[in-house]
A and B are shown apart, each in its own frame.
Chain A
Amino acid sequence: MIRFEGVTRRYGDRAVVDRVTLDVPDGSICVLLGESGSGKSTLMRMVNRLVEPSAGRVLVNGRDVTATDPETLRRGIGYVIQSVGLFPHWRVAENVATVPRLLGWEAARIATRVDELLALVGLEPGRFRDRFPHELSGGQAQRVGLARALAADPPLLLMDEPFSALDPGTRRGLQAELRTIHAETGKTILFVTHDVEEALALADTVAVLEEGRLAARGRPAELLERGTGAPVRRLFGEESLAFHRLATLPASTIARPEDAAGDLPILPAEASLKQALMLMLSEGSDRLAVPPTGEFPGGTLYWADLVRPA
């Protein structure tokens, strides 16, 4: 678990991060969201001591990070950045093995671990192991970057706009994969982005930063409730706020428990209301069938119900 306690960072007399107090529970994804220059990276970099706070403290698993020397601390925390930063003169396998090698693992253990990780991030080990970074596409390079961060199996992952430089399709693919990996490994992830859709797609909790201050925090649905504060409205855009809110609500909650007529378009029960709206628009239908799954008994989703909570 990460805990920021009244953390401030000043450059000159300007507080770039200003008295931020924030908890990131074990096993959750916390997204730091804010405009460019709002202090997201600075806040994140205080966790692995790439930046030292001017005041306040950062705790990881209850221990002040300054109690551990920076190198040891960083080897226990995965770190992924937008520019990836693969070492250009090392092959993919060596890049992934960076931290295990620093930790002095045996060669055989490293080799198995590298193949395991490449497979985990969706790169066939046989094809990619011996490539140099310049032989990878942007998406493949960032997959390697993710594998490198996961190499020594750190419980904590810091990700600074890791997908921002990728095209929208690749970005969505990697977001989905990150969620899968998160579900499989249960890592605690602190994720920085300025992309609101990405934040909603990934976050268990969102922390909104504005000019270095924590302006709002909560689960996506809480954050976008009616009457939310000005910073959130600015960030998500007044006119599209309602639309983003739909993305935070599951469709099954407002489906009426009645048997759907057979010819209605089918919406998966775990879909969001935004997806429901999209399906209605594309199918030209004002009703959708939601088939039963798990505890949900199945039902029908009405256009009228959809527009009401928004």
Chain B
Amino acid sequence: MPLRPALLAASQPAAAPSPPREATAVGLLAALAALAPFLLGWLSLAPNRLLSPRPAELPMGPELGLAMGGFLLACLLVLLLARRAALLPWAEAAAALALCALLATAGLGARAALEAASPMARAMPAAGVWVAMLLLALAAGSCAAGRGGTPGRFLALAVLGVGGLLATGLLDGLSVVHEAAARGPELRSAFSGHLALAGGALALALMVSVPLSLLALRRPRLEAALMGLANGFQVVPSLALFGLLMGPLAALAALWPALRDWGVGGIGPAPAILGIAAYLLLPLASSLLAGLRVASPALLDAARGQGMTEAGILRRLRLPLGWGVMLGGLRVAAVQAVGLATLAALIGGGGLGRLVFQGIGQMAADLILLGVLPVVLLSLLVDGLLAILQSGLEVAR
């Protein structure tokens, strides 16, 4: 009996909430992110925009020390907050903070380094910074994985924070920002062109797959044909498909010159949009069909037996029960569209791919990045927004 209090006391620590499953992974990622710039370098300097950069020392100063301290502190915060399940969302936010501090450090370092260099010189984040950014994004992803979502909080805060940093001019020293400033109008038109390509292809694919899926729902042979076609497109390499479309479209435009005013021709956005849409057919059609079939045969039998019409069944059962699955497919398709639209530049379709391929041609890394970064950002945003919509609909049920 006298043992009892001692036993109770010993069991006390176990009663405290144990760290969530994600704690280890998030902690490790945050620690590695904090170390990466020190191991792999903060900054690279190039004598001009076309020569390859070399690692450079970070010219320490009070402002820079503050930013670096903020970065390390934020990484530590991520690690600590992730040890409590309830605080995981805050750990995700801290990761965004760390990302902003990291960029601020790199930006301040670049600014200071350029003061001592020639006016042609360019400064850019070194491998350590890129790796740390990736690790922070992964840490945020792990934080969000626990609640089964995408790291929307991280994305939103990071976009806001980086936007703020850009607005204050803190990042002006970085060569990508320099490049963006020099090519402002070009970047904007490439961006809107990219949106038009991806959006147009998605709209076209939806216009084809929605009615066909609805028809195929109760026609096995049409379904087999539709899925066969959609699967077939996936096998053709995308550039080859764009190429294959050029011939027929050029012929069409030659036949009806009026079509040219609409942008239809062998070269330009038309074959690109058609080609991209062809790839989107599979994720869209398969998820539409799967979504429409979430309502089980027994449920449909009950619904028909009560005297619901087929239209009523679609509106009241198939759609509300299948939204989640269908939006999942839309999400995949939208992200794919944004990615594939990069290739449109190869056949004169414009978009952000133009910057990328120009950059490759000139061997100008900054220009490549200027094209790639908005594509990545756009994919993440599209994915995040649709994920929020999807989880919103699931809660609404």
Contact = CB atoms under 8 A, between A and B. Distances in A.
Contacts of A234: none
B395 to A, nearest CB: 12
B358 interface: no
A74 interface: yes
B196 interface: no
B308 interface: yes
Interface in A35-92: 48, 50, 70-76, 79, 81, 83-89
Contacts of A102: 306-308, 312
A89 B298 contact: no
B321 interface: yes
B390 to A, nearest CB: 16
Interface in A227-251: none
A85 B303 contact: yes
Contact of A72 (B303, B306, B307, B320): B307
B299 to A, nearest CB: 5
A179 B196 CA distance: 66
Given A85-B298, A88-B321, A89-B321, A75 B304 contact: no
A74 B298 contact: no
Contact of B397 (A75, A89, A145): A89
B302 interface: yes
B301 A75 contact: no
Given A74-B307, A98-B306, A148-B306, A85 B299 contact: yes
A70 B313 CA distance: 14
B323 to A, nearest CB: 10
Contacts of A148: 306
A76 B306 CA distance: 9
B148 interface: no
A85 B303 CA distance: 8
Contacts, number: 57
Interface residues of A, number: 24
B309 A79 contact: no
Interface of A is mostly: mixed
A87 B307 contact: no
Contacts of B309: 71
A255 interface: no
B315 to A, nearest CB: 12
A158 B304 CA distance: 13
Nearest to A41: B301
Interface residues of B, number: 17
A96 to B, nearest CB: 11
Contacts of A50: 301, 304-305
B312 to A, nearest CB: 8
Most buried by A among B301, B305, B312: B305
Given A81-B298, A89-B397, A99 B307 contact: yes
A105 to B, nearest CB: 14
Nearest to B305: A79
B392 to A, nearest CB: 15
Given A89-B321, A89-B397, A74 B301 contact: no
Contacts of B316: 87
Interface of B is mostly: helix
Nearest to A99: B306
Interface in A188-235: none
Contacts of B298: 81, 83-85
A86 B321 CA distance: 13
Given A75-B306, A102-B307, A148-B306, A85 B301 contact: yes
Given A72-B307, A73-B307, A99-B307, A85 B397 contact: no
Nearest to B298: A83
Nearest to B310: A71
A275 B299 CA distance: 39
A86 B309 CA distance: 17
B303 A87 contact: yes
Contacts of A48: 305
Contacts of B303: 85, 87
B121 interface: no
A71 B301 CA distance: 13
B305 A71 contact: no
A20 to B, nearest CB: 20
Given A71-B309, A81-B298, A87 B317 contact: yes
Given A89-B321, A89-B397, A75 B307 contact: yes
Most buried by B among A73, A76, A79, A87: A87
A79 B308 contact: no
Nearest to B317: A87
B320 A79 contact: no
Interface in A80-138: 81, 83-89, 98-99, 102
Nearest to A86: B302
Contacts of A75: 306-307
B307 A71 contact: yes
A85 B317 CA distance: 11
B321 A74 contact: no
B198 to A, nearest CB: 32
A98 B305 CA distance: 11
A283 B397 CA distance: 56
A25 B204 CA distance: 58
A87 B305 contact: no
A28 B196 CA distance: 67
Contacts of A72: 307
A220 to B, nearest CB: 28
B302 A81 contact: yes
A74 B303 CA distance: 10
A85 B308 CA distance: 13
Given A76-B307, A88-B321, A99-B306, 15 more contacts: A50-B301, A50-B305, A70-B307, A75-B306, A79-B302, A79-B305, A81-B301, A84-B298, A85-B299, A85-B303, A87-B303, A98-B308, A99-B307, A102-B308, A102-B312
19 contacts: A50-B301, A50-B304, A72-B307, A73-B307, A74-B305, A74-B306, A75-B306, A75-B307, A81-B301, A81-B302, A83-B298, A83-B302, A84-B298, A85-B305, A87-B302, A102-B306, A102-B308, A102-B312, A158-B305
Q: Which 5 A-B pairs have the closest CB atoms?
A: A85-B302, A79-B305, A74-B307, A75-B307, A83-B298
Interface of B: 298-299, 301-309, 312, 316-317, 320-321, 397
